[in-house]
Structure 1
Amino acid sequence: MRSADGIPVLAWHFDTGVLEAEAVVDGWYALLTSVPADQADAGQALIHYKGQSAVERRYHDFKGPLAVAPDFV
């Protein structure tokens, strides 16, 4: 968009319908698991997922910068 003088002008608007739709699901996310629904409910799956970061940190520590590379003689 340009003004009458030919100078570029920035124009924007808020799409309130999109903002309201996004606000409804704000904080929600999908969690995919291989655990059958009859073995764990949504709360148990979330607790398991939240604890996964500790396991991933241990893998990182194990495979981290102190790992020794093989020497080929």
Structure 2
Amino acid sequence: MSAAPETTPEVADLDLAADQAIAVCGGDARETVKALLVANDFLERQLDELRPKVSTGYARGRFDRSRDRKE
């Protein structure tokens, strides 16, 4: 039994994606984090825009409609 944890394909893919993101940002980890925060904010805004458009039946009640209502 080895002391190192086993690397699953999911972990390897995540490590590869992290390495690629850092490389795209010129090796600057701080710039990479900032880029990821901007991307995350963009995706959250898309969700906020699309969530009210999904019917309750289709979503099977996964979303709290009272939270989405604007008064």
In the superposition, the TM-score normalised over structure 1's length comes to 0.38
Larger Rg: 1
In the superposition, the TM-score normalised over structure 2's length comes to 0.39
Greater share of helix residues, 1 or 2?
A: 2
